[in-house]
Every structure is written in structure tokens, then in C-alpha cells.
């Protein structure tokens, strides 16, 4: 049993950490995040130049074909400074998995090579105004067969990065009367811009530069090659494609905890009250010890899930556990971080509030922690929760 990163992984972590300090330290990340709806193009360009955006893309499409653990390291190191803005890369990375797994060769080549070269970004558009949890009940967007392709009509909600993406990954209803509810859906990749496609940012609490959007599809037509995989298999394909998402998200939360802990310790040394650094007060020490223990717990569950092959029967359960543990510890750590900084923790001029605002999302999306707990219980042999 070895709980350490190996030599290559440590080297990669050191390289990314030095890059983050140079290209997107916390003060830069804070400025970027505050610019509502202004996509951080310079950050994307820097990530492209750093050779990071194609990390998970297979080498035949110009990427590095790195394993999940290497992507976890990147995600965590970026999030230590960027927090939720790390999703600038993360979303494209896991949407690209769907294109690789289910797209035809020409589409794969266009999208994956485009991503590896930094020309093509992706966003996911599954959630609808009717809900994100009860997907089968909520999805009203339809795909209708037309000669040579499909016409898509409907509305999506909360599609993060959609306004700056070149392709949207959609789950739509293609069968109004399926034999089984899960057979109603198919997966499409819709180019953006497209005629009939309108995208509108939704004001939100965190990750403000990376807009989460309403997406209106009014008779959007795509060719047959934009159907990914098989008609009626969209739900199963989506579940498979986003398998890595929970682990990457847990890694992002680990990065947030790293950022919180180092800022909390620095402040505890600097700030004085009653003639001594606040780090001498036992209450502050306990807060910091709690954050450090949460950091270790989140790291271990995340690394463990990332170390399992994705076809291992334990993978799904472990990925779900990692998502819940890391997201809840990140929110709690940032909350205590604010407490340690006192009034400055509430100031937009420090990063604690940004960590808290960003981490808070990950108890909700991509799947809420209530529903993730249901899945964990089901994985332990309990009946499906109603
Ligand atoms: C900032 C942000 C970014 C997002 N980005 C994306 C994106 O890029 N692409 C995308 O497709 N979606 C995205 N989402 C949507 C996100 O995935 C959904 O918000 C999430 O799945 C929850 O759906 P909902 O908001 O409709 O809540 P609901 O499904 O309405 O749930 C409301 C409450 O009911 C609980 N609940 C519902 N069903 C059950 C049950 N069976 N058992 C126990 N509790 C239950 C939930 O846990 C929750 O507490 C984003 C959301 C936000 C806020």
C-alpha cells in the first residue's frame, strides 16, 4: 500500500504548481473571477500554451493521452488558485470523452484535435428548466429526424461555458413512447453558433467569469454525424461519458481546500490580537487542524477513486464517495477559513469568500449530494430510493 504520488506524478505536480504561480496566482484568479460573464480568454490561451488542455485527449488526436490520476493532479493544482474557474478546462475534458467514445471519425478528428490545439471548447447541456435530478421527467427538448439529420427544439439550463464553447453536448428526447424510460434519449453534439441557437448567461453566486447559461434551441438543424452513438442510448452513454467528472470534481475540491489551508495558516501567523499572532489561540489552531484533516480525507478518497480502473466494479461507488466527501469538506473548510480571517474573510479583496462561493456549487452539481448519497446506498445493496 502506497499513499504517495510516484516520482513522475510529483514532478508533474511541481511543474503545474510553478506554472500556476507564474501564470494565474490567486490575485489574478480573483480578478478574473470577478468579471461577470467575461470569459477568461487569456487564461484559456495560457492553458493552451502550457500544453494542458489536451492532457486527456488521445495522442492520435494531438493530445497527451494522460491517465485520470494525472488529470486529477492538474485539476487540483489549478484549483488551488483558480478554484471553480478550473472548470474552464475540466468541462471540455470530460465532454471530449463522450465525443471520443461515441463520435464518428470525422467529428472526433475535428473536435478532439481542435481541443488539443486550443481551438475548440465544449460545454454540457443536459439540465432543463424542469430539473436536473429527475432527468427522465424533466427533459422536454426533442430531436426529430429530418432528411440527412435532426432538428432540435427546446431549452436547456445552467450549461456552464456554453457562451464560449464551439460545441454543446446535449441529451434530448428522440422517442416520445419508449419501451423503457431510459430509451427515450439520444446524445447530440451541436456546433455553436448554429441557426436557431440562443445562449443567455444566468446571474450566479460563484465562478462568475465562466457563465452558466440558458440555451434556447429553436429548430436547430444538425447533420446525422452530430448524433453521438446510437438513437435511444443517450442516457447510458452520458452516464459512461461523465464517469470521470465526479473524480475530477473531487480533485477540484481538494485544490480549493489546499488554497484555503495555506491562506488560513499565513493569516494565523500574520494577524495579531491581544499582542500575539491569532495562530497562538487554541480556537484558531483547532479550526486549522480541522481543515488539515479534511484535506487529508478528501485527498485519500479522491486518489483512491482515481487509482481504480474505470471498468472496476468499485469505481462508481468510490467516485461518488469522493465527490461527496471532497465537496462537503471544501465548503466547510472555506467557511472556517472565512471565520479565521474574521472581517477580511468577508472581503472581496481576499480569496476565502471566492473559495466558499465556488465550492458551494459542488454540493449541488453536477449531481446533488443527496442523490449521490442515494447512489452510494444503492451501491451498498439498498433498494433504489424514491
Ligand atoms: C452554477 C451551476 C452550473 C451548472 N452547470 C451545468 C452544466 O454545465 N450542464 C448541465 O447540464 N447542468 C449544469 N448545472 C445543473 C446541475 O447539474 C443541477 O442544478 C443539479 O443536477 C440539480 O438539479 P436542480 O437544480 O434542477 O435541482 P432539483 O433536481 O430540482 O433538486 C432540488 C432538491 O431536491 C433534491 N432531490 C431531488 N430528487 C431527489 C431524490 N430522488 N432524492 C433526494 N433528494 C432529491 C435535490 O437533492 C435538491 O436538494 C449547473 C448548475 C449550477 C447551479
**What pLDDT, in 10s, does the model give residues 56-68?**
999 999 999 999 9
pLDDT at 367: 95
Asked whether residue 241 carries a pLDDT value surpassing 90, the answer given is no
pLDDT at 1: 80
pLDDT at 385: 86
Place of cell 504520488: 5
CA–centroid distance, 168 to ligand 1, in Å, is 19
Neighbouring C-beta atoms of residue 269, cutoff 10 Å = 11
Q: Is 385 in the pocket of ligand 1 (CB under 6 A)?
A: yes
pLDDT at 310: 87
Confidence tier at 240 by pLDDT (50, 70, 90) = confident
C-alpha–C-alpha distance, residues 284 and 271, integer Å: 11
Q: Which of 102-106, 216-220, 240-244, 249-253 has the lowest mean pLDDT?
A: 240-244
Number of the ligand 1 atom closest to the C-alpha atom of 123: 8
pLDDT at 316: 93
C-alpha–C-alpha distance, residues 222 and 347, integer Å: 47
Confidence tier at 143 by pLDDT (50, 70, 90) = very high
Beta bridge partners of 171: 187
Classify residue 385 by its DSSP letter. P
Q: Are strands 167-173 and 122-125 parallel, antiparallel or unpaired?
A: parallel
pLDDT at 243: 79
- Name the residue with the closest Cα to ligand 1, atom 14: 158
pLDDT at 274: 98
State the average pLDDT over residues 174-181. Answer: 94
State the average pLDDT over residues 119-139. Answer: 96
Number of the ligand 1 atom closest to the C-alpha atom of 134: 29
Query: 333: part of which helix (H) or strand (E)?
Result: helix 315-341
DSSP string, 311-331: TSTTHHHHHHHHHHHHHHHHH
pLDDT at 215: 98
pLDDT in tens, 297-344: 999 999 999 999 988 999 999 999 999 999 999 999 999 999 999 999
Map residue 292 onto helix, strand or coil. helix
Confidence tier at 108 by pLDDT (50, 70, 90) = very high
Place of cell 468499485: 314
* Residue from 217, 368, 374, 386 whose mutation best tests the ligand 1 pocket (most atoms within 8 A of CB): 368
CA–centroid distance, 187 to ligand 1, in Å, is 19
pLDDT at 47: 97
Asked whether residue 386 carries a pLDDT value surpassing 80, the answer given is no
pLDDT at 269: 98
Strands (E), the chain: 122-125, 142-146, 149-160, 167-173, 185-191, 197-201, 212-223, 227-228, 272-273, 276-277
pLDDT at 30: 96
Place of cell 447512489: 375
Cα atoms in the Cβ-side hemisphere of radius 13 Å centred on 360: 12
pLDDT at 242: 81
Helices 68-82, 243-270: axis angle to 10 degrees equals 40
Q: Is 365 in the pocket of ligand 1 (CB under 6 A)?
A: yes
CA–centroid distance, 275 to ligand 1, in Å, is 48
Q: Is 171 in the pocket of ligand 1 (CB under 6 A)?
A: no
Q: Is 178 in the pocket of ligand 1 (CB under 6 A)?
A: no
Confidence tier at 96 by pLDDT (50, 70, 90) = very high
Q: Is 131 in the pocket of ligand 1 (CB under 6 A)?
A: yes
State the average pLDDT over residues 239-265. Answer: 94
pLDDT at 67: 95
CA–centroid distance, 367 to ligand 1, in Å, is 6
* Residue from 366, 377, 384 whose mutation best tests the ligand 1 pocket (most atoms within 8 A of CB): 366
- Name the residue with the closest Cα to ligand 1, atom 30: 131
pLDDT in tens, 354-382: 999 999 999 999 999 999 999 999 999 99
Q: What is the mean pLDDT of the chain?
A: 96
Q: Is 125 in the pocket of ligand 1 (CB under 6 A)?
A: yes
Q: Note the pTM of the prediction, 2 decimals.
A: 0.97
Q: Is 340 in the pocket of ligand 1 (CB under 6 A)?
A: no
Number of the ligand 1 atom closest to the C-alpha atom of 131: 26
> Widest CA span of the chain, in angstroms?
78
Amino acid at each position: 500500500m502506497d499513499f504517495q504520488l510516484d516520482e513522475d506524478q510529483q514532478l508533474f505536480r511541481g511543474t503545474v504548481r510553478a506554472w500556476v504561480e507564474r501564470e494565474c496566482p490567486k490575485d489574478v484568479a480573483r480578478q478574473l473571477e470577478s468579471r461577470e460573464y467575461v470569459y477568461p480568454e487569456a487564461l484559456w490561451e495560457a492553458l493552451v500554451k502550457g500544453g494542458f488542455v489536451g492532457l486527456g485527449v488521445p495522442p492520435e488526436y494531438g493530445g497527451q493521452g494522460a491517465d485520470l490520476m494525472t488529470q486529477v493532479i492538474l485539476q487540483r493544482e489549478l484549483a488551488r488558485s483558480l478554484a471553480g474557474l478550473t472548470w474552464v478546462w475540466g468541462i471540455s475534458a470530460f465532454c471530449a470523452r463522450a465525443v471520443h467514445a461515441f463520435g464518428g471519425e470525422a467529428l472526433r478528428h475535428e473536435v478532439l484535435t481542435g481541443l488539443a490545439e486550443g481551438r475548440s471548447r465544449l460545454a454540457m447541456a443536459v439540465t432543463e428548466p424542469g430539473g436536473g435530478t429527475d432527468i427522465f421527467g424533466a427533459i422536454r427538448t426533442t430531436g426529430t429526424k429530418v432528411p440527412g439529420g435532426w432538428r432540435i427544439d427546446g431549452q436547456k439550463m445552467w450549461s456552464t461555458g456554453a457562451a464560449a464553447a464551439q460545441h454543446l453536448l446535449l441529451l434530448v428526447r428522440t422517442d416520445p413512447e419508449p419501451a423503457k424510460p431510459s430509451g427515450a434519449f439520444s446524445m447530440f453534439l451541436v456546433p455553436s453558433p448554429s441557426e436557431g441557437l440562443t445562449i443567455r448567461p444566468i446571474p450566479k453566486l460563484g465562478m462568475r467569469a465562466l457563465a452558466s447559461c440558458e440555451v434556447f434551441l429553436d429548430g436547430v438543424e444538425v447533420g446525422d454525424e452530430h448524433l453521438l452513438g446510437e438513437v435511444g442510448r443517450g442516457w447510458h452513454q452520458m452516464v459512461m461519458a461523465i464517469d470521470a467528472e465526479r473524480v475530477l470534481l473531487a480533485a477540484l475540491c481538494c485544490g480549493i481546500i489546499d488554497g484555503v489551508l495555506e491562506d488560513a495558516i499565513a493569516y494565523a501567523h500574520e494577524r495579531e490580537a491581544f499582542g500575539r499572532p491569532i495562530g497562538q489561540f487554541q480556537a484558531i489552531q483547532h479550526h486549522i487542524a480541522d481543515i488539515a484533516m479534511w484535506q487529508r480525507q478528501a485527498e485519500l478518497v479522491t486518489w483512491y477513486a482515481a487509482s481504480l480502473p474505470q471498468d472496476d466494479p468499485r469505481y462508481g461507488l468510490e467516485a461518488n464517495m469522493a465527490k461527496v466527501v471532497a465537496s462537503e469538506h471544501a465548503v466547510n473548510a472555506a467557511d472556517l477559513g472565512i471565520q479565521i480571517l474574521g472581517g477580511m474573510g468577508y472581503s472581496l479583496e481576499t480569496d476565502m469568500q471566492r473559495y466558499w462561493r465556488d465550492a458551494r456549487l459542488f454540493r449541488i452539481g453536477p449531481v446533488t449530494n443527496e442523490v449521490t448519497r442515494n447512489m452510494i446506498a444503492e451501491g451498498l445493496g439498498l433498494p433504489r430510493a424514491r
